[in-house]
Amino acid sequence: MIYGLVAAVAWGTSAVTATVAARRSGTFITVLIGQALGLVVLFVLGAALRPSFDAVHGRVLWGLIGCGVIGLLGYLFFYRALAEGPVGLVSSIGATYGGVSALLAFVFLGERLGAAGTAGVLLAVAGVALAAARSQTATVATSVGGGEPIVGVAQMPAGAGSDSGRGVSFALGSALAYGVGGFLLGDFSAQAGWLTATLVARLASIAVLLVALPFVARPPAWRDTSSGWVWAAAAGLTDVVGVLAFARGGQEGQVAVTAAVSSVYPVIPLAAGIALFGERLSWRQGVGVGLIVAGLVLLGLVS
């Protein structure tokens, strides 16, 4: 339970800090800084634990590279969603990646969901449908952001309304990408080891970011965004803390408890969105978020 709580707090905090970073410095820069710092932490762990790379070749190698690229798409979609829409709603929808991974494991690996797992998937789907429905209740914009291109610096017009619909669309894209990436990472981790697999996947994502950097990051966009970089660093560090806590919980043989407890992390950005960003959800979105969290807890209990 302790590792699950650490993961939940870390991932919830990461969503909040990433929201500020993406709205101040832009999606690409936020992802680049967060991924780079996460890689540094993984390198330190690798130097201490010295994991084996003997299994990283052929199908496993290419699978982990694909996992890293797909996971990178998930980060880009998720951070763009945070810049566009309500942080609590976006985080709740993005967190349904667990249902995507569970369905893929059911179809391709023959794993059984059981009654509770099936109910969890259905609740999460129903919650997403309700939360994504158009509402007459507008979300109040925050003072730290607004819409922005997927690269570059976010514009910060005071008093502008957030585009909840666009945020939801990107959140759904992130859930799909995270779900596929998580499924691949879990599958190949069984062959290469969790730390080795995570390192190789993260190296692949960083390589893609560095190759894309000269083409998508406009030099003027790097000015006057130092505060955004600090928030991006915080997002990256808290994200990797959540990943490591979750992995440690699994290593201790507490996968179900860790997954169930950590799955409630959207509660943190939801509270932050209301208390710090002045966001308000419609009743349908509120019910949808509740169904999503309930579905994620059920999925965690059977994982």
- d(CA 158, CA 144) in angstroms, rounded, equals 8
Question: Which of 84, 66, 77, 64 lies closest to 31, judged by CA?
Answer: 77
Neighbour count for residue 122 (Cβ, 10 Å): 14
pLDDT at 186: 79
Q: How far does Cα 83 stand from its chain's mean position?
A: 13
User: What are the structural domain ranges in the chain?
Assistant: 2-301
- CA distances (Å), 190 to each of 55, 97, 206, 252, in order? 10, 20, 23, 16
Q: How many CB atoms lie within 10 A of CB 104?
A: 18
Each residue's pLDDT expressed in tens, for the chain with a length of 303 residues? 687 788 889 999 999 999 999 988 889 989 999 999 999 999 999 999 999 999 999 999 999 999 999 999 999 999 999 998 889 889 889 888 878 887 887 788 777 777 877 888 888 888 888 777 654 344 433 334 444 444 444 444 333 334 567 888 899 999 999 889 888 887 888 888 888 988 999 999 999 999 988 877 555 445 446 778 899 999 999 998 988 887 776 556 555 555 666 777 888 998 888 888 888 878 888 888 888 888 887 877 665
Pure H helices in 133-225: 164-192, 194-216
Of the candidates 126, 127, 145, 150, the one whose C-alpha atom is nearest the C-alpha of residue 281 is 127
**Local structure of residue 66 (DSSP, 8 states):** H
